[in-house]
Amino acid sequence: MQPTDTVLHFTDTVLHLTDTVLHFTDTVLHSTDDTCALDGYRFALYRHYFALYRHRFALDG
């Protein structure tokens, strides 16, 4: 396995975990009335998620 493959595999794992966290956060948002703080947390996760995607495509391309 090349070092780049290892980094891509790690990044894919992080993206999958981030997807899981986002899904959990969305579930919590739908089941609570106090969404302001959670919305801010969710958007922070989305920013992190897209930054990881940009990093992954930079490594892949």
Q: What is the pTM of this model?
A: 0.48
Helix 36-60 and helix 3-30: axis angle, to 10°? 160
Q: Give the tens place of pLDDT for each residue, 16-57.
A: 888 788 778 777 766 665 656 666 777 777 777 777 777 777
Query: Measured between alpha carbons, how far is 5 from 9 in angstroms, rounded to an integer?
Result: 6
Does pLDDT of 13 surpass 80? yes
Residue 52: the pLDDT is 78
b/e string for 15-50 if b means 16 or more Cβ within 10 A?
eeebeeeeeebeeeeeeeeeeeeeeeebeeeeeeee
Residue 31: the pLDDT is 64
**Overall average pLDDT of the 4-27 stretch:** 79
The structural domains of the chain, with segments of one domain joined by +, span: 3-60
